[in-house]
Amino acid sequence: MATHEQIEATYNYMDDIFRLTFGECADISGAMYNGDFSKTLEEAQREKHEYVMRNLNIGAGSRVLDIGCGWGPILRAVKMRGAYGVGLTLSTKQAEACRRHGLEAYVRDWKDTGVHEWGRFDAIVSIGSFEHFCSREEYCSGRQEEIYKSFFKLCHDLLVPGGRVYLQTMTRGKNAPDYGEVSVRAPKHSNAYILAVVEKFYPGSWPPSGLEQLRTVADPYFKMLSANSGRNDYIETMTQWEKRLYKPSVMKAAKAVKLLKYALSDRDFLYKLEELIGSYNKECFKREILDHYRMVFEKTS
């Protein structure tokens, strides 16, 4: 699993730029266009939030846990519904941003929480964090499914009877290379190379193998009610991010200059720059090296 330090390295150094670009409650996860790319990014993100609220039956008085809450877009949507939300993140900057806007968020590993702390919830949301739960080393040692089962077991324990989970995550796609091929020493711009650079951008993170694996590991505790691929929607989301990220801004330029210090302390920083400049994450989705799923689960017992 990506450690606290690795998540900090992934998200904290871009915190100022992300918030300047996407807003204080930045939603850095795939939006929901459902093929209608005439929507604005903001409309597509609101569509996703409404989809989550509707499918998890979140209303006034509901209790919602957001595992991997980021800068708080779902917590904000929950609050606007008159529900109670609490978020967990491994990024101090994200937790601070949430608290500045009256949202309840804690720097906490999901493995370190339980019913004794907050009681039970009506719904659990996890968007864009599940792909960080297993590292390549854990995958190679055969621990991936064990980790995923422990996540679903925790969700089962934390939910009231009939409670629901919304899970949105990257997965390996049909053209994903074998883990042994994934290396920055692979031929430049090959599938194996660009996936290796994306892994440098998200250290400690190895995505699940696909939808059937997720259905299987959840099965002892949950019934999968729905699942759909958001791969094309994610490609459009990242296209819109790029337009905003590279739009000239004096404040963003000043923040970007400060990032140069990381080139001295982070040996993988140049790979992270290469990933951003080359849009390798988006390229992985275009080549179907990676896929992206949105799933709703219901507690079975």
Identify the structural domains of the chain with CATH numbers, from first to last.
Answer: 4-177+204-250+290-299 (3.40.50.150)
Q: Which DSSP symbol is given to 14?
A: G
Q: Which of 72, 67, 69 is nearest to 25 (CA)?
A: 72
The amino acid present at 46, given as its one-letter code, is R
pLDDT, tens only, 199-256: 998 888 999 999 999 999 999 999 999 999 999 999 999 999 999 887 767 666 666 6
User: Three-class SS of residue 82?
Assistant: coil
The pLDDT, as a whole number, for residue 9 is: 60
pLDDT, tens only, 124-144: 999 999 999 999 999 999 999
Given a contact cutoff of 8 angstroms between Cβ atoms, the answer to whether 48 and 31 are in contact is yes
User: What's the whole-model pTM score?
Assistant: 0.92
Residue 11 has pLDDT above 90, yes or no: no
